Amino acid sequence: MIAAWRILHKDLVLELRTREALSGLIVLVLLILLTFTFALNPEGASAAAPAVQWVTFIFAGLMAIQRSFLIERENGAWYGLLLCPIDRGAIFVAKMASNVIVLGGAQVVLLALLVLFLGVSVPVAPFGLLFVNVLGLIGFAALATLFAAISVRLRAREMMLPLLVLPLLVPLVICAVEASRIVMAGGTIASAGPWVRVLVTFDVIFSVAGWMVFEQLVHE
Amino acid sequence: MMPSAERVSRDASGPVVRAENLGKTFGRAVVLRDVALQVAAGEVLALFGPNGAGKSTLLRLLARLMTPTSGTLMLFGETGQTSAVRRRIGLVAHQSFLYPDLNARENLLFYAGMYDLVDAPARVDAWLERVALADVGTRPVRLFSRGMEQRLALARALLHEPDLVLLDEPWSGLDAAAADWLGALLVEQRQQGRTVIVATHDFERGLAVATRALIVHRGRLAWEAPVAADSSAAFDAAYRQITGAVAA
């Protein structure tokens, strides 16, 4: 796993240096959120906040995840990575981890903007909300990272990634929205139990599957 | 660092590259067909041929970046694509495989880490000196000229002292001094018992370093001969006859 750490470190150095993924992500989050703010009835906006949050996050996040592979395509660095004598699953682990970190930053900004724009009240116990967000984030990053590795080789990659990933994200989005709705309303993690259990299962399945099948997926 | 004597004796047990009936198609396009090739340790094989002949595809197959559509390919006696085999391959392709927003030193340190090299910083500094980029080691690669990037790509490919060095148009972008330096480097690689396969359009430089020359035409190995001091004329004639073009 030291190889994964080295790739992650390189990705984070590149992101800190260019800030391309995070800045693009935050601008996109802001634009989508502004659109929802004007479109929604102010009285019902707060109730719609969980759905708005996850739809915004997923659409903006897909762009950032695709970019994490596009930096490897520039100058063909992707092939340099594939030539290295490492377990290729380490590339998946590193890419997923860097996506979790970048998307996590964007998610914090998104939650703050939800409070500002949609009047969402900050939960008394924010741990539950944080927990649900982390679970949703990991599942999304695992699945989208896996498919980004496939779609980045395709000619119509910008169109293919959403087409491939969005149908598979439906269970995650439903569970994340429902669990967020409960914890935003002051409920506990236990009261969101069924949704949280599906989220955990989703995270485990796609994280492990991604790591295991990555070698086959990236081989031309 | 592996002593060269050990390298030679380890590789002397069999050919470094052994390909039989190797073929590659992309959709309906047949890029390589029925390629049979054996390359021994310490050989420098020069691949010549017009654009689209299949040279780059052959190098990518040998680097295990692609799977052949047909035939078998053994590298160091192994058919599989293992980490141990990948560790022994160095590739310089048309693209540099470098990260534009990392500086030269960071790029080499990253790859040194990927190959788990001991004394990586010292080795990286030594290679930056060798490719005459030590003065600009902290400059981002995106600010490099084509020739500087090519020299750094050579350092990246040779940093881990691969037993099989694959080079696709390595002289491209290099000035005369750097091109001469590369020629000397390839001769040094040969003397150290490494196997070098170089695809090039630069006949003069290619023949100067090669022990064997090969012409690839329309996906087939069309001609092959050992290189001697007087083989230039024979090569010119063969190239003209096979491709219909005049050797430069």
- Find, in chain B, the residue whose alpha carbon is nearest to that of A79: B97
Write down the H helix ranges in A74-192. Answer: 77-83, 89-118, 126-151, 157-184
Query: Under 8 Å CB-to-CB from B203, ≥6 apart: which residues?
Result: B48, B232, B235, B236, B239, B247, B248
Indicate yes or no: CB of B99 within 8 angstroms of CB of A75: yes
Residue B246 has pLDDT above 70, yes or no: no
Q: How confident is the model at residue B247 (pLDDT cuts 50, 70, 90)?
A: low
Cα dihedral across residues A198, A205, A91, B64: positive or negative: negative
Q: Where are the domains of chain A?
A: 2-218
Of B66, B84, B94, the CB nearest to A85: B84
What's the rounded Cα separation, in Å, for the pair B30 and B28? 6
Residue A69 has pLDDT above 80, yes or no: yes
**Under CATH, which number does the domain B1-88+193-248 receive?**
3.40.50.300
Cβ atoms within 10 Å of A22's Cβ, excluding its own = 18
Q: Which chain A residues contact residue B91 at CB under 8 A?
A: 79, 83
As a whole number, the mean pLDDT across chain A is 90
Q: What is the mean pLDDT of residues B118-134?
A: 95
Residue B57: both structure tokens together: 């595809």
**How distant is the Cα of B222 from the closest Cα of chain A, in angstroms?**
27
Q: Given this model, what pLDDT does residue A76 score?
A: 92
Distances (CA, A) of A196 to A75, A181, A199, B109: 42, 12, 5, 42
**Beta-sheet pairing, B89-92 with B164-168:** parallel
Of A3, A17, A79, the CB nearest to B114: A3
What's the rounded Cα separation, in Å, for the pair B3 and B1? 6
**Phi-psi region for residue B117, left (φ > 0), alpha (ψ -120 to 50) or beta?**
beta
Map residue B29 onto helix, strand or coil: strand
Distances (CA, A) of B218 to A214, B23, B53, B225, B247: 34, 12, 5, 18, 17
**Lowest-confidence segment of A20-29, A93-102, B142-151 by average pLDDT:** A20-29
- Identify the residue with better confidence: A42 or B217: B217
What's the rounded Cα separation, in Å, for the pair B228 and B105? 39
Residue A111: both structure tokens together: 């939650």
Q: What is the pLDDT of residues A77-103, one digit of tens each?
A: 999 999 999 999 999 999 999 999 999
Residue B23: both structure tokens together: 């073929």
Q: Which chain A residues contact residue B64 at CB under 8 A?
A: 83
Q: What is the mean pLDDT of residues A4-13?
A: 96
Q: Which chain A residues contact residue B156 at CB under 8 A?
A: 80
Query: Under 8 Å CB-to-CB from A68, ≥6 apart: which residues?
Result: A11, A21, A95, A98, A99, A102, A145, A148
Map residue A191 onto helix, strand or coil: helix
Q: Given this model, what pLDDT does residue A123 score?
A: 72
**Lowest-confidence segment of A116-120, B194-198, B215-219 by average pLDDT:** A116-120
Of B91, B99, B114, the CB nearest to A6: B114
Q: How confident is the model at residue A147 (pLDDT cuts 50, 70, 90)?
A: very high
Q: Does B139 touch chain A (CB under 8 A)?
A: no
Residue A203 has pLDDT above 50, yes or no: yes
What's the rounded Cα separation, in Å, for the pair A153 and A155? 7
**Beta-sheet pairing, B164-168 with B44-48:** unpaired
As a whole number, the mean pLDDT across chain B is 90
SS3 content of chain B, % helix, strand, coil (to 5): 40, 25, 35
| A contact set with B (CB within 8 A) | 2-3, 6-7, 10, 13-14, 17-18, 71, 74-77, 79-87, 219-220
Q: How confident is the model at residue B7 (pLDDT cuts 50, 70, 90)?
A: very low
Q: Given this model, what pLDDT does residue A153 score?
A: 76
B85, B87, B101, B105, best to mutate vs chain A, most A CBs in 10 Å: B101
Q: Which chain A residues contact residue B102 at CB under 8 A?
A: 10, 13-14
Q: What is the mean pLDDT of residues B194-206?
A: 93
Q: Given this model, what pLDDT does residue B3 score?
A: 40
Q: How confident is the model at residue B248 (pLDDT cuts 50, 70, 90)?
A: low
Q: What is the mean pLDDT of residues B31-49?
A: 94
Q: Given this model, what pLDDT does residue B11 score?
A: 46
H/E stretch holding B222: strand B220-226
Residue B28 has pLDDT above 80, yes or no: yes
Q: Given this model, what pLDDT does residue A220 score?
A: 63
Adjacent-strand bridge partners of B74: B18
Q: Given this model, what pLDDT does residue A4 score?
A: 95
Q: Given this model, what pLDDT does residue A78 score?
A: 93
* Amino acid (1-letter code) at residue A90: A
Sheet arrangement for strand B70-75? B29-39, B17-26, B70-75
Give the gyration radius of chain B's Cα atoms.
18
Query: Under 8 Å CB-to-CB from B227, ≥6 apart: which residues?
Result: B46, B207, B210, B211, B212, B213
The counts of H helices and E strands in chain A are 8, 0
The DSSP result for B33-101, as a single string, is EEEEEEE-TT-EEEEE--TTSSHHHHHHHHTTSS--SEEEEEETTB-S--HHHHHTEEEE-SS----TT
Query: Under 8 Å CB-to-CB from A125, ≥6 apart: which residues?
Result: A186, A188
A-contacting residues in B 26-45 (Cβ below 8 Å): none
Q: What is the pLDDT of residues B64-115, one digit of tens each?
A: 999 999 999 999 998 877 889 999 999 999 999 999 999 999 999 999 999 9
Adjacent-strand bridge partners of B92: B167
Q: What is the pLDDT of residues A114-132, one digit of tens each?
A: 888 887 777 766 888 899 9
Q: Given this model, what pLDDT does residue B168 score?
A: 95
Q: How confident is the model at residue B8 (pLDDT cuts 50, 70, 90)?
A: very low
- Find, in chain A, the residue whose alpha carbon is nearest to that of B61: A220
Residue B228 has pLDDT above 90, yes or no: no
With a pLDDT cut of 90, the percent of chain B lying above it is 76
Q: Which chain B residues contact residue A71 at CB under 8 A?
A: 99
Of A6, A14, A85, the CB nearest to B99: A14
Residues in chain A: 220
With a pLDDT cut of 70, the percent of chain A lying above it is 99
What's the rounded Cα separation, in Å, for the pair B90 and B17? 14
Q: Where are the domains of chain B?
A: 1-88+193-248
Distance from chain centroid for Cα B163: 11
